[in-house]
Structure 1
Protein backbone atom coordinates (compact mmCIF):
# COMPACT_ATOMS: atom_id res chain seq x y z
CA UNK A 1 0.00 0.00 0.00
CA UNK A 2 1.46 3.38 -0.92
CA UNK A 3 2.04 5.94 1.86
CA UNK A 4 -0.85 8.26 0.91
CA UNK A 5 -3.39 5.41 0.90
CA UNK A 6 -1.97 4.11 4.15
CA UNK A 7 -2.31 7.55 5.76
CA UNK A 8 -5.90 7.88 4.49
CA UNK A 9 -6.78 4.43 5.85
CA UNK A 10 -5.24 5.22 9.24
CA UNK A 11 -7.15 8.50 9.43
CA UNK A 12 -10.44 6.70 8.73
CA UNK A 13 -9.64 4.11 11.41
CA UNK A 14 -8.67 6.83 13.89
CA UNK A 15 -11.91 8.71 13.23
CA UNK A 16 -13.64 5.44 14.07
CA UNK A 17 -11.94 5.40 17.46
CA UNK A 18 -8.93 3.15 16.75
CA UNK A 19 -6.12 4.55 18.90
CA UNK A 20 -3.60 2.09 17.42
CA UNK A 21 -4.30 3.67 14.00
CA UNK A 22 -3.68 7.10 15.52
CA UNK A 23 -0.34 5.94 16.87
CA UNK A 24 0.65 4.45 13.51
CA UNK A 25 -0.37 7.67 11.79
CA UNK A 26 1.81 9.73 14.12
CA UNK A 27 4.72 7.38 13.45
CA UNK A 28 4.27 7.75 9.68
CA UNK A 29 3.98 11.53 9.86
CA UNK A 30 6.76 11.96 12.43
CA UNK A 31 9.38 13.12 9.87
CA UNK A 32 7.05 15.91 8.70
CA UNK A 33 6.21 16.81 12.29
CA UNK A 34 9.94 16.97 13.10
CA UNK A 35 10.47 19.36 10.19
CA UNK A 36 7.67 21.62 11.42
CA UNK A 37 8.89 21.50 15.02
CA UNK A 38 12.46 22.26 13.97
CA UNK A 39 11.32 25.23 11.87
CA UNK A 40 9.28 26.64 14.74
CA UNK A 41 12.12 26.16 17.20
CA UNK A 42 14.63 27.86 14.89
CA UNK A 43 12.46 30.96 15.17
CA UNK A 44 12.49 30.62 18.95
CA UNK A 45 16.04 31.10 20.15
CA UNK A 46 15.18 31.25 23.87
CA UNK A 47 13.08 28.10 24.14
CA UNK A 48 14.27 25.11 26.11
CA UNK A 49 12.40 22.57 23.96
CA UNK A 50 13.89 20.00 21.65
CA UNK A 51 11.93 19.20 18.50
CA UNK A 52 11.09 15.82 20.05
CA UNK A 53 9.72 17.52 23.18
CA UNK A 54 7.60 19.87 21.09
CA UNK A 55 6.24 17.01 18.99
CA UNK A 56 5.50 14.91 22.07
CA UNK A 57 3.68 17.79 23.76
CA UNK A 58 1.64 18.39 20.60
CA UNK A 59 0.79 14.69 20.33
CA UNK A 60 -0.27 14.63 23.98
CA UNK A 61 -2.61 17.56 23.33
CA UNK A 62 -3.89 15.80 20.23
CA UNK A 63 -4.58 12.63 22.20
CA UNK A 64 -6.41 14.60 24.90
CA UNK A 65 -8.73 15.94 22.20
CA UNK A 66 -10.16 12.43 21.81
CA UNK A 67 -12.00 11.69 18.59
CA UNK A 68 -11.74 14.46 16.05
CA UNK A 69 -12.93 14.86 12.48
CA UNK A 70 -9.81 14.92 10.31
CA UNK A 71 -10.18 14.71 6.56
CA UNK A 72 -6.64 14.00 5.35
CA UNK A 73 -2.89 14.22 5.94
CA UNK A 74 -2.84 17.98 5.42
CA UNK A 75 -5.45 18.42 8.16
CA UNK A 76 -3.38 16.35 10.58
CA UNK A 77 -0.25 18.36 9.79
CA UNK A 78 -2.13 21.68 10.13
CA UNK A 79 -3.61 20.63 13.47
CA UNK A 80 -0.25 19.46 14.80
CA UNK A 81 1.37 22.72 13.69
CA UNK A 82 -1.35 24.70 15.47
CA UNK A 83 -0.83 22.69 18.64
CA UNK A 84 2.94 23.25 18.47
CA UNK A 85 2.34 26.97 18.02
CA UNK A 86 0.03 27.02 21.04
CA UNK A 87 2.67 25.23 23.12
CA UNK A 88 5.32 27.79 22.17
CA UNK A 89 2.94 30.68 22.86
CA UNK A 90 2.04 29.23 26.26
CA UNK A 91 5.77 28.89 26.98
CA UNK A 92 6.47 32.49 25.86
CA UNK A 93 3.62 33.80 28.03
CA UNK A 94 4.93 31.92 31.02
CA UNK A 95 8.48 33.16 30.44
CA UNK A 96 7.19 36.67 29.76
CA UNK A 97 5.27 36.66 33.01
CA UNK A 98 8.31 35.32 34.84
CA UNK A 99 10.85 37.71 33.30
CA UNK A 100 8.66 40.53 31.98
CA UNK A 101 9.92 40.28 28.41
CA UNK A 102 8.80 38.62 25.21
CA UNK A 103 10.65 36.64 22.60
CA UNK A 104 11.01 37.72 19.02
CA UNK A 105 10.17 35.57 16.00
CA UNK A 106 10.50 36.15 12.28
CA UNK A 107 7.16 36.45 10.51
CA UNK A 108 8.56 35.13 7.25
CA UNK A 109 12.29 34.48 7.28
CA UNK A 110 12.44 33.75 3.53
CA UNK A 111 10.90 37.08 2.53
CA UNK A 112 11.31 39.47 5.43
CA UNK A 113 14.97 38.79 6.18
CA UNK A 114 16.03 39.72 9.66
CA UNK A 115 12.73 41.30 10.72
CA UNK A 116 11.84 40.07 14.21
CA UNK A 117 8.38 40.07 15.72
CA UNK A 118 7.35 39.57 19.34
CA UNK A 119 5.63 36.19 19.65
CA UNK A 120 2.97 37.49 22.06
CA UNK A 121 2.29 40.51 19.83
CA UNK A 122 2.03 38.17 16.84
CA UNK A 123 -0.43 35.94 18.70
CA UNK A 124 -2.53 38.96 19.70
CA UNK A 125 -2.53 40.25 16.13
CA UNK A 126 -3.39 36.78 14.78
CA UNK A 127 -6.36 36.56 17.13
CA UNK A 128 -7.55 39.99 15.95
CA UNK A 129 -7.14 38.84 12.35
CA UNK A 130 -9.18 35.73 13.15
CA UNK A 131 -12.07 37.92 14.28
CA UNK A 132 -11.91 39.88 11.03
CA UNK A 133 -11.16 36.99 8.66
CA UNK A 134 -10.80 33.50 10.12
CA UNK A 135 -9.65 32.08 6.77
CA UNK A 136 -6.69 34.50 6.69
CA UNK A 137 -5.77 33.56 10.25
CA UNK A 138 -5.95 29.86 9.39
CA UNK A 139 -3.78 30.48 6.32
CA UNK A 140 -1.14 32.08 8.54
CA UNK A 141 -1.28 29.13 10.92
CA UNK A 142 -0.88 26.60 8.14
CA UNK A 143 1.73 28.50 6.13
CA UNK A 144 3.85 30.16 8.80
CA UNK A 145 3.48 27.96 11.84
CA UNK A 146 2.82 24.71 9.97
CA UNK A 147 5.28 25.29 7.17
CA UNK A 148 2.73 23.85 4.77
CA UNK A 149 3.26 24.39 1.06
CA UNK A 150 0.53 26.22 -0.83
CA UNK A 151 -0.43 22.99 -2.62
CA UNK A 152 -1.33 21.31 0.66
CA UNK A 153 -3.17 24.39 1.88
CA UNK A 154 -5.11 24.47 -1.39
CA UNK A 155 -6.11 20.86 -0.77
CA UNK A 156 -7.31 21.65 2.76
CA UNK A 157 -9.13 24.89 1.90
CA UNK A 158 -10.34 24.20 -1.64
CA UNK A 159 -8.84 27.52 -2.80
CA UNK A 160 -6.47 27.88 -5.75
CA UNK A 161 -2.77 28.45 -5.16
CA UNK A 162 -3.02 31.84 -6.89
CA UNK A 163 -5.77 32.91 -4.48
CA UNK A 164 -3.74 31.64 -1.55
CA UNK A 165 -0.68 33.63 -2.68
CA UNK A 166 -2.76 36.81 -2.77
CA UNK A 167 -4.34 36.05 0.60
CA UNK A 168 -0.90 35.26 2.07
CA UNK A 169 0.43 38.67 0.99
CA UNK A 170 -2.65 40.31 2.50
CA UNK A 171 -2.32 38.42 5.78
CA UNK A 172 1.40 39.21 6.12
CA UNK A 173 0.83 42.91 5.45
CA UNK A 174 -2.09 43.06 7.90
CA UNK A 175 -0.14 41.25 10.62
CA UNK A 176 2.92 43.40 10.16
CA UNK A 177 0.80 46.53 10.55
CA UNK A 178 -1.05 45.08 13.55
CA UNK A 179 2.19 44.13 15.30
CA UNK A 180 3.82 47.49 14.59
CA UNK A 181 0.66 49.42 15.61
CA UNK A 182 -1.00 47.42 18.41
CA UNK A 183 -4.32 48.41 19.89
CA UNK A 184 -3.77 49.30 23.53
CA UNK A 185 -6.30 48.46 26.17
Structure 2
Protein backbone atom coordinates (compact mmCIF):
# COMPACT_ATOMS: atom_id res chain seq x y z
CA UNK A 1 0.00 0.00 0.00
CA UNK A 2 1.41 3.35 -1.04
CA UNK A 3 1.64 6.04 1.60
CA UNK A 4 1.09 9.70 0.95
CA UNK A 5 4.16 11.94 0.98
CA UNK A 6 2.55 14.00 3.76
CA UNK A 7 2.18 10.98 6.08
CA UNK A 8 5.86 10.16 5.58
CA UNK A 9 6.78 13.79 6.24
CA UNK A 10 4.75 13.66 9.48
CA UNK A 11 6.58 10.50 10.55
CA UNK A 12 9.92 12.13 9.77
CA UNK A 13 8.91 15.07 11.95
CA UNK A 14 7.92 12.70 14.79
CA UNK A 15 11.25 10.88 14.44
CA UNK A 16 13.16 14.17 14.41
CA UNK A 17 11.42 15.11 17.66
CA UNK A 18 12.62 11.79 19.16
CA UNK A 19 9.10 10.50 19.63
CA UNK A 20 9.31 6.87 20.80
CA UNK A 21 8.45 4.40 18.05
CA UNK A 22 8.47 7.02 15.29
CA UNK A 23 11.45 5.51 13.45
CA UNK A 24 9.87 2.06 13.49
CA UNK A 25 6.57 3.52 12.23
CA UNK A 26 8.46 5.31 9.47
CA UNK A 27 10.25 2.14 8.39
CA UNK A 28 6.93 0.28 8.34
CA UNK A 29 5.58 2.93 5.96
CA UNK A 30 8.60 3.11 3.62
CA UNK A 31 9.86 -0.48 3.77
CA UNK A 32 8.23 -1.60 0.51
CA UNK A 33 9.60 1.42 -1.35
CA UNK A 34 13.08 0.92 0.13
CA UNK A 35 12.92 -2.72 -1.01
CA UNK A 36 11.96 -1.61 -4.53
CA UNK A 37 14.88 0.84 -4.64
CA UNK A 38 17.27 -1.79 -3.23
CA UNK A 39 16.01 -4.31 -5.78
CA UNK A 40 16.68 -1.80 -8.56
CA UNK A 41 20.21 -1.14 -7.28
CA UNK A 42 20.95 -4.83 -6.78
CA UNK A 43 19.86 -5.53 -10.35
CA UNK A 44 22.89 -3.42 -11.34
CA UNK A 45 25.26 -5.53 -9.26
CA UNK A 46 26.85 -8.56 -10.88
CA UNK A 47 28.31 -10.20 -7.77
CA UNK A 48 25.38 -9.44 -5.43
CA UNK A 49 27.14 -8.62 -2.15
CA UNK A 50 23.69 -8.25 -0.58
CA UNK A 51 20.26 -9.70 -1.05
CA UNK A 52 17.62 -6.99 -1.46
CA UNK A 53 16.45 -7.44 2.13
CA UNK A 54 20.02 -7.33 3.41
CA UNK A 55 20.65 -4.04 1.64
CA UNK A 56 17.44 -2.59 3.11
CA UNK A 57 18.60 -3.69 6.56
CA UNK A 58 21.96 -1.99 5.98
CA UNK A 59 20.06 1.19 5.12
CA UNK A 60 17.85 0.75 8.17
CA UNK A 61 20.90 0.37 10.42
CA UNK A 62 22.61 3.40 8.87
CA UNK A 63 19.53 5.60 9.06
CA UNK A 64 18.89 4.53 12.64
CA UNK A 65 22.14 6.20 13.64
CA UNK A 66 21.23 9.51 12.00
CA UNK A 67 20.38 12.21 14.46
CA UNK A 68 20.19 15.92 14.03
CA UNK A 69 19.05 15.74 10.42
CA UNK A 70 16.49 18.38 9.58
CA UNK A 71 14.19 16.06 7.64
CA UNK A 72 12.34 18.11 5.05
CA UNK A 73 10.06 15.65 3.31
CA UNK A 74 9.73 12.25 1.64
CA UNK A 75 12.16 13.17 -1.17
CA UNK A 76 14.79 14.24 1.34
CA UNK A 77 14.41 10.93 3.18
CA UNK A 78 14.87 8.90 0.01
CA UNK A 79 17.88 10.98 -1.04
CA UNK A 80 19.53 10.17 2.31
CA UNK A 81 18.47 6.52 1.96
CA UNK A 82 20.07 6.36 -1.49
CA UNK A 83 23.30 7.76 -0.06
CA UNK A 84 23.18 5.11 2.69
CA UNK A 85 22.68 2.48 0.00
CA UNK A 86 25.63 3.76 -1.99
CA UNK A 87 27.77 3.83 1.16
CA UNK A 88 26.84 0.21 2.00
CA UNK A 89 27.69 -0.99 -1.50
CA UNK A 90 30.98 0.90 -1.57
CA UNK A 91 31.91 -0.37 1.89
CA UNK A 92 31.18 -3.94 0.80
CA UNK A 93 33.12 -3.44 -2.45
CA UNK A 94 36.14 -2.14 -0.52
CA UNK A 95 35.92 -5.05 1.88
CA UNK A 96 35.76 -7.49 -1.01
CA UNK A 97 38.64 -5.79 -2.79
CA UNK A 98 40.76 -5.95 0.36
CA UNK A 99 40.15 -9.69 0.44
CA UNK A 100 41.34 -10.07 -3.15
CA UNK A 101 45.01 -9.20 -3.05
CA UNK A 102 46.53 -8.03 -6.30
CA UNK A 103 43.13 -7.84 -8.02
CA UNK A 104 43.20 -5.72 -11.17
CA UNK A 105 40.71 -2.87 -11.41
CA UNK A 106 38.34 -3.60 -14.25
CA UNK A 107 38.11 -0.74 -16.72
CA UNK A 108 34.47 0.31 -16.57
CA UNK A 109 32.43 1.52 -19.49
CA UNK A 110 28.93 2.89 -19.74
CA UNK A 111 27.53 -0.60 -20.12
CA UNK A 112 29.09 -1.72 -16.85
CA UNK A 113 28.19 1.42 -14.96
CA UNK A 114 24.64 1.87 -16.15
CA UNK A 115 23.29 -1.42 -17.49
CA UNK A 116 23.65 -3.86 -14.64
CA UNK A 117 26.95 -5.63 -15.28
CA UNK A 118 28.87 -4.01 -12.44
CA UNK A 119 31.38 -5.77 -10.22
CA UNK A 120 32.72 -4.57 -6.88
CA UNK A 121 35.63 -2.95 -8.70
CA UNK A 122 33.20 -1.18 -11.03
CA UNK A 123 31.31 0.22 -8.02
CA UNK A 124 34.55 1.50 -6.51
CA UNK A 125 35.50 3.16 -9.77
CA UNK A 126 31.98 4.54 -10.15
CA UNK A 127 32.05 5.96 -6.61
CA UNK A 128 35.44 7.56 -7.24
CA UNK A 129 34.22 9.13 -10.48
CA UNK A 130 30.99 10.29 -8.86
CA UNK A 131 32.97 11.99 -6.10
CA UNK A 132 35.14 13.67 -8.73
CA UNK A 133 32.05 14.78 -10.64
CA UNK A 134 30.57 16.15 -7.42
CA UNK A 135 33.58 18.43 -7.01
CA UNK A 136 33.03 19.80 -10.50
CA UNK A 137 29.22 19.94 -10.62
CA UNK A 138 27.20 19.10 -7.52
CA UNK A 139 23.87 19.21 -9.34
CA UNK A 140 25.05 16.79 -12.02
CA UNK A 141 26.33 14.39 -9.36
CA UNK A 142 22.96 14.56 -7.59
CA UNK A 143 21.22 13.70 -10.86
CA UNK A 144 23.42 10.63 -11.27
CA UNK A 145 22.84 9.67 -7.63
CA UNK A 146 19.05 9.91 -7.93
CA UNK A 147 18.81 8.15 -11.28
CA UNK A 148 21.25 5.32 -10.56
CA UNK A 149 20.58 4.64 -6.87
CA UNK A 150 16.93 5.67 -6.50
CA UNK A 151 15.87 4.72 -10.00
CA UNK A 152 14.19 8.11 -10.37
CA UNK A 153 12.67 9.10 -13.68
CA UNK A 154 13.64 12.40 -15.29
CA UNK A 155 10.44 13.93 -13.91
CA UNK A 156 11.08 12.69 -10.35
CA UNK A 157 14.68 13.89 -10.54
CA UNK A 158 13.60 17.31 -11.80
CA UNK A 159 10.96 17.60 -9.07
CA UNK A 160 13.38 16.49 -6.38
CA UNK A 161 16.06 18.99 -7.41
CA UNK A 162 13.74 21.82 -8.43
CA UNK A 163 15.07 21.98 -11.98
CA UNK A 164 13.53 21.43 -15.42
CA UNK A 165 13.28 18.05 -17.12
CA UNK A 166 15.31 19.46 -20.01
CA UNK A 167 18.11 20.31 -17.58
CA UNK A 168 17.97 16.81 -16.10
CA UNK A 169 18.15 15.21 -19.55
CA UNK A 170 21.01 17.42 -20.67
CA UNK A 171 23.05 16.97 -17.50
CA UNK A 172 22.31 13.22 -17.32
CA UNK A 173 23.60 12.79 -20.89
CA UNK A 174 26.68 14.85 -20.11
CA UNK A 175 27.31 12.97 -16.85
CA UNK A 176 27.09 9.57 -18.55
CA UNK A 177 29.52 10.69 -21.24
CA UNK A 178 31.87 12.24 -18.68
CA UNK A 179 31.87 9.11 -16.47
CA UNK A 180 32.39 6.88 -19.50
CA UNK A 181 35.30 8.98 -20.77
CA UNK A 182 36.93 9.23 -17.32
CA UNK A 183 36.53 5.48 -16.72
CA UNK A 184 38.65 4.79 -19.80
CA UNK A 185 41.49 7.09 -18.75
CA UNK A 186 44.52 5.26 -17.30
CA UNK A 187 44.65 7.33 -14.08
CA UNK A 188 41.03 6.57 -13.11
Give the shorter-chain TM-score range.
0.7 to 0.9
- Matches of 2:156 and 2:72 in 1, distance apart? 13
Deviations 1:31-63 (A, max 9, x none): 111111111112212134111111111111111
The alignment partner of 2:69 has SS state of coil
Matched, 1:156 2:160: yes
Aligned to 2:91: 90
Matched, 1:106 2:112: yes
Query: Following superposition of structure 1 onto structure 2, how do residues 44-55 of structure 1 map, counting pairs within 5 Å?
Result: 44-55=45-56
Deviations 1:3-57 (A, max 9, x none): 2321121122222223522221221111111111111112212134111111111
Check the 8 A contact 2:90/2:124 in 1, yes or no.
yes
Check the 8 A contact 1:129/1:136 in 2, yes or no.
yes
Report the CA distance between 1:183 and its aligned residue. 2.7
Report the CA distance between 1:129 and its aligned residue. 0.6
Aligned to 1:23: 24
Deviates more, 1:44-53 or 1:2-11: 2-11
Check the 8 A contact 2:113/2:122 in 1, yes or no.
no
Deviates more, 1:161-170 or 1:96-105: 96-105
Report the CA distance between 1:92 and its aligned residue. 0.9
Deviates more, 1:11-20 or 1:70-79: 11-20
Gaps of 5+ in 1: none
- Matches of 1:23 and 1:159 in 2, distance apart? 33
Runs of 4+ in structure 1 off by over 6 angstroms are 113-117
Matched, 1:127 2:128: no
Give the length in aligned residue pairs.
Answer: 180
Distance 1:120 1:153, change over 3 A: same
Aligned to 1:14: 15
Aligned to 1:118: 122
- Matches of 2:20 and 2:9 in 1, distance apart? 15
Check the 8 A contact 1:96/1:102 in 2, yes or no.
no
Matched, 1:139 2:143: yes
User: TM-score by structure 2 length?
Assistant: 0.85
Check the 8 A contact 2:35/2:56 in 1, yes or no.
yes
**CA RMSD of the aligned region, Å?**
2.4
